[in-house]
Each structure stands twice: as C-alpha cells, then as structure tokens.
Structure 1
C-alpha cells in the first residue's frame, strides 16, 4: 500500500497455495475464520502445518487489486499456484480487474507423491497397528502377524505386501499422483488506449520474443570447391543462415 500508483513494470510472485486452509472456505457468511477448535485448528494453519500457507492471501481479491493499482497499464503479472488451488487464485486475479492472458506450465518433475497405500490402510483398519505413529510410506513398514495380531514391523523393506484378503484386492492402488508441475497465471493490466500508444508511453505490455527463443544458432556449411571454381582445391566454410530458434511456449 506504500507504493505509488502505476510505478511497477511487472510482478512475479509465488504466493501461498493454501493447500489445506479452510479459512473462509466453509461456514456461514460472516463467520469467523477457523483459528481454534479440535477439528479445524490444525488444518487452518496451512499445508503440512506451515502457518505461512494458511489464510487466504492468494484467494483474496483485494490483494490483487493492490497489485493492479501499482502496475503500469499493460504490465504483466505472473503468479505461481498449486494444481489443486490455482483456479481460486486465477478467479481472484480476474475479479480484481486483470486480463488473463495465458497459463504457463512449469514442469520440475521432482515432487514427492503424497498418495496413501489403500491396501495398507485396509490392513490397518482390520488390525494392523502402526505402533502409534503415522506411516510415511509403505516401503518403510511391513505388516506382520505377531501373537495372533497384525502389527507393523518398522524396517526398510520392498513394496508393501497385503496381509489380509481384503487388502490383497487393492494391492497396488493409491489415492493420488506424484506432483511434477505447477501452473503459473499470466495476467495483464488492461492497456490504456492502443497497444502502440501504451507501449510508447509506459514501456509495458510486450514480450521480448527474440530474447526468449529456444535453440537459436548459426548454421555453418563446410564445402570443398574443385579447380573449375577456384584455382586449385581449397576447403572453406560459410554461414548459410541463422536459425532463429523456436518461439517461446507456455510450457517450461
């Protein structure tokens, strides 16, 4: 709020994704955010207990209204989001007055699957104990029979082997996919007048396509001329053309 109007050329941000926040998501209009209580206290703090991921920063239209205010006309906004909550952020950005231009998919491929082993859950529900601790992966715990009871043996092992007939039916099944990409909303503050006039006045609203091309290089040709073209045989090379490179895409 301390920044002057139309003073920023572009905004690139990675706000909280609110992957588990239930603040302002449930309840009646005017209800207080769930900051306490046995049921909602933990998940109100945010994903994996991180308080910075709680609240509703990226879902709050007023946050993006401020971003719109400080941006110059034509200025771009790039904001990262989570695959499960991106739509709420994008709606807030659009409701604030931005024009949604595109979506960039950033593929990083190094996410860790949060999936639960269904066979393991079924076995536990039928008597397998996890020794009072949450089981992070099926590879770390193997259900075994001990004194007529199914218990967990905390040791590194291979893939989980179901111990009950009901669990065997669901062997190999999980509850989710491995996260490997993040969506990025590409939005723009509306132009003032025409594109040409806006860019000349503010210097914002365009993308430097030339600087972002992928695979730009010169194509060199090696030749060996015979005596009819040159006195004696002589090899040489020349640049046939310059490869412009591929147009930058909305996936990286």
Structure 2
C-alpha cells in the first residue's frame, strides 16, 4: 500500500499521467461559492459547449473568501480524470447545494455517465441568513428610499469631480463599498449611519437624508442562547478565531415596514451536501468490463447498513447518508417501527413481488427488526466540521495557523472509498485538501494519490498522514 502526495495544479499533473491507470476517484473539489453573476455563468457554459473546456469566470473569492473556491472545476479537469480512470471506473464528487448543477454539467460534458446523486444529510449546519425585518429597521424603515439616497450621493460626488475610487479611499477604508451606495447591477445599499455622518460632514447638502438612514431602535423582548455563526453560548462554543459564543438580544420590529417583514429571511439551514456518483463509460457489458479492467461495479456488501442478527449481511446501501443528528430526528418523527418477519418455505401469494419469494414460496428467513426509520440508512458521526482530531492544524512561528476550512469526516470518506474501489486498487483525489481521502484510503488498505495546489495544505496532509502512523 502506497500513498503519494503531489503539490501541483491537478490539470497539469493529470496530463502527464498514463491512460487507464486509476481505479477510482473520490474528491471534495471547489464548490464555486463566489457571487458569480448569471451572465458570467452563461458565458462560461457557452465556452464549454463550443470547445473552451478550461474557461472559468473572472471572479475571486468563494467559501470563506478563498479564491480557489471561486468556481467549480471546468470540464478539462474531468476530461483528464476520465482519461486516467480505467474503463467503468467510478468517481464520487462532492458538490455545493446551490452549485451542483454546474458541477454535474461540467462532469457530463467531460463524457462521464451520471449514475446517481447521494445526499449527505446532517443536522448541525447553521444558516447564513439575513433577518429582513432587522435590515429594514437598520435603515429606519426607509430602505425603499435607497435609490433616492443613492442618486443624491452620486450627484454630490459628480458635482465635485470625484471618482468612486477616491471615495472608497476616503470614506470606505480602501474597500470597494462605495459602488454599493450609488447602486450596482445586483442592487443598492445605503451607507451605515457612521459612514453617512462622515460623508455629510464634508457634503452637507446630504444632511436632509440623515434621519432617513438612521437606525430605528428595536425593543429587547428576550435573550437567545445562540449567536449567529458562532454556536451555543450556554455550552461555551467558540468560533475558529477563538471568539466565545454569547447570548444575543431578541428584539421586536421598530417600524411598520419591519413589522410587515418580521420573520422573513434570505436562506435556509444547510443540511445536505450532494455527492455526484459518475462512471467512465464501460468497455462492453458490466460483466466483461469488470473481468477485463477490474472495475465497473459498486462494492455493495462492504457498504451495507448494519442491521444486527435478523439480517447479518446488513441492509442494501442507500443514496442517503445521515449524520447522528439527522438520524435522531428521523427516528423521532417515525417512532418505533417493526419490519415483518419471514420464514423460509412458506407459501405466499404467487403475484407477490417481494424479494423474499420465488414462485410464491418464501426463500429465506428474516426475523424482522425493530427501531426507527434511520436504521435503513448509513449513519456517520458529524460535527459542524470534522472532529477536532481529524482537522490538522499547523502553527507558524508568528502564531498564525494553517487550517483547511472544508474538512470531511474520515468515516464518510472511508465509506465512499470502499464503495467504488476494488481490493488493492488505487484511489485518486485531484483536490486533496487536508488529505482526508488519502487517510480514508489508507484506513481501508488502498493505494492513493493526492494532488493539492496549495503548498500550505500539503503540510496539513503530511501532518495528518504522519500522525496516523503513530
């Protein structure tokens, strides 16, 4: 068993590798969670279907502001993945809930067959939601005047012959926020109270709008144990940066406009990540392909759902994967259920379609089972991120840290690796991150190759693999 790690651009590295040399691919690539505009997406799709398979939008920043997450990998990457895969080889690719369409299309255009989409369902995600009622009160209930205020700000700037860039430096701390004040294609956002006061101090004619952008004071009506994006204050949760969770005030709408939109937001609680299961086209039939190339099927028995004595082999694996929180909630809703028992050799209705019967006679015994509905699905332990012991961290001499923001649990990756890799096979991860796929492959006795473009993350991979050998 060998584990090889390369610090390289995956597309450049793949182009140097031989055909039909990899048994499976399991990867967690960039999801493309940047603010890519629909027109940019349309331009990229047009480029892809007309032959420019390396095209990506000219955008920056994605999850947690990481530029490497600005867009999904283009078809050129998956073309090379398919070339190095053996005929019939499978690929399991994680995707974002709001960009899985682009990920799937990129994979399809490379020539892969989409065989299924698995859903990894978890219970501890936190919504990145904006409270619309609060947002309205922050503008004194006058958010509908944003265009009027923006026009006045633009006229004040232009009358002085100033550029937006100059205003960014003077009033916005060197950011590019000024363009929001005058209006972008995606909307307009008045300045904060503090910023507006600063502007009015130099451009007094805008003072007439001072009260219209003043934040309406909301009445405190209670306390919450959670603070958005941090955790449970009563349990002492912390952010990555070390900020302690605090209870926050529950407030009531202060203006009629905010009252109208009280309870409205902009996002749902994240609770699922899709996993696209794709396959390189077969060389003939499934039977002839597996005999010729050693791949082409799924290792069903190795990935069955444990079910105890009634069916010692376990239940057939599903395309829904649960964490312990989701499983608990499912069982709470379903209550205790009991599946029917079967005795071998007993006559049944000849029209029965049950897998327990052949020509109207039950074929084997099953004592049935008792429990919640989650017993039919694979269940993995999940935290808001992978457990701390599975998230390597390197502290530099200056005290700064190297961490990866999107680490997946090892048990989940081990299940995926075992599902699509033959015994003794080689697993490729072209976006190795912190090396969870490589660790999973080692756990299951497979060879593995990891490609990672970010040098800092190579250090995390080495730390993970070295510590696992101790």
TM-score (structure 2 length as normaliser): 0.40
Q: Is the 8 A contact 1:5 1:69 kept in 2?
A: yes
- 2:62 aligned residue: 46
Structure 1 residue 19, shift from structure 2 partner? 1.1
What aligned pairs does 1:207-218 form with structure 2 within 5 A after superposition?
Answer: 207-218=298-309
Structure 1 residue 101, shift from structure 2 partner? 0.4
Secondary structure of 2:92's partner? strand
- 2:316 aligned residue: 247
Structure 1 residue 14, shift from structure 2 partner? 0.7
Matched, 1:74 2:88: yes
Structure 2 CA distance for aligned equivalents of residues 26 and 75 of structure 1: 31
- 1:94 aligned residue: 108
Structure 1 residue 204, shift from structure 2 partner? 0.3
What aligned pairs does 1:136-155 form with structure 2 within 5 A after superposition?
Answer: 150=215
Deviation string 1:204-224 (CA, Å, 9 cap, x unpaired) is 0111111111124335xxxxx
Q: 1:84 aligns with which of 98, 108, 115?
A: 98
Structure 1 residue 202, shift from structure 2 partner? 1.1
Q: 2:266 aligns with which of 150, 156, 175?
A: 175
Structure 1 CA distance for aligned equivalents of residues 91 and 134 of structure 2: 44
Deviation string 1:129-179 (CA, Å, 9 cap, x unpaired) is 96659xxxxxxxxxxxxxxx53679x9533232111111121111111011
Q: What are structure 1's unaligned runs of at least 5 residues?
A: 36-42, 134-148, 220-241
Structure 1 CA distance for aligned equivalents of residues 316 and 138 of structure 2: 53
Q: Is the 8 A contact 2:137 2:216 kept in 1?
A: no
- 1:62 aligned residue: 76
What aligned pairs does 1:115-126 form with structure 2 within 5 A after superposition?
Answer: 115-126=129-140
Structure 1 residue 45, shift from structure 2 partner? 2.2
Structure 1 CA distance for aligned equivalents of residues 192 and 127 of structure 2: 20
- 1:2 aligned residue: 16
Structure 2 CA distance for aligned equivalents of residues 104 and 27 of structure 1: 29
Q: What are structure 2's unaligned runs of at least 5 residues?
A: 1-14, 48-54, 143-190, 196-213, 219-245, 322-470
- Identify, as 1 or 2, the structure richer in helix: 2
Q: Is the 8 A contact 1:131 1:151 kept in 2?
A: no
- Identify, as 1 or 2, the structure richer in strand: 1
Secondary structure of 2:119's partner? strand
Deviation string 1:194-239 (CA, Å, 9 cap, x unpaired) is 21111011110111111111124335xxxxxxxxxxxxxxxxxxxx
Structure 1 CA distance for aligned equivalents of residues 121 and 293 of structure 2: 33
Structure 1 residue 34, shift from structure 2 partner? 6.6
Secondary structure of 1:121's partner? helix
Are residues 130 and 158 of structure 1, via their aligned partners in 2, closer, same or farther at CA, if it must alter by over 3 Å? farther
Matched length: 205
Structure 1 CA distance for aligned equivalents of residues 194 and 107 of structure 2: 44
Give the root-mean-square deviation of aligned CA atoms. Answer: 2.9
Matched, 1:15 2:26: no
Matched, 1:108 2:122: yes
Structure 2 CA distance for aligned equivalents of residues 103 and 34 of structure 1: 26
- 2:420 aligned residue: none
Structure 1 CA distance for aligned equivalents of residues 56 and 83 of structure 2: 27
Structure 1 residue 109, shift from structure 2 partner? 2.1
Matched, 1:190 2:281: yes
Secondary structure of 2:133's partner? helix
